[in-house]
Amino acid sequence: MNQENKKQVIIAGALGVVLVAVLVYQFLIAGGPAPPPKAAGANTSATAKAGTEGAKVAAPKAGGKADDKVASAEGPTRLKKVDVDLDALLQNINVVTFVYDNEKINRNPMTPLVGRVIAPTSMDEKDSQMVSPGIIRSKSVSGIIYNEFNPVAIVDDEVITEGYQYPDGVVVTQIEPKRVWFQWRDTLIPVELKEL
């Protein structure tokens, strides 16, 4: 380490120690951050005449209100203690009767909240039996033209885009630079790009 780097490390360390000392003083010794400055009011002339002691000497207005403001500006903020009648609060609580069986929701709770929702298609029994993950994995992805907004793939010598749906219900959900994702029922099946 050369001489210049040593000077920089020493200066950074000294600044760090000063910062920690100021924070410790502010939060532990002084009792928190400094209060906000007082708004200019009617007693500014009295404080200007008396100097720094003017806030303590300022003449109170009706009922000693000025003393309360001065006292709150000098020290940390204190919470006032308020008497609350808990029984009265509890009596004001309204109990709502709710029967879950009578309430109908407008959406299927199994539908994902994020992502695209693909509408179900009507399939025959024999069509659904013909599709299987093995048949989907045997699809040949021979080319992908990847674009962030509109990727295109060549699957079984057919050009497809995201969202394309085969007649048997298999849907192309996503096209990545090296693979295509197919969805069949609740199953996502990736098919890698065929290397030439």
Q: What is the mean pLDDT of each run of 10 residues along the chain (196 residues)?
A: 84 91 81 59 45 44 48 64 86 82 71 62 52 84 90 92 90 93 89 84
pTM > 0.75: yes or no: no
pLDDT of 159: 92
**Do residues 161 and 175 make contact, with C-beta atoms less than 8 angstroms apart?**
yes
Q: Position 20: which residue type? A: V
147: tokens are 């674009």
Write down the pLDDT at residue 57. 43
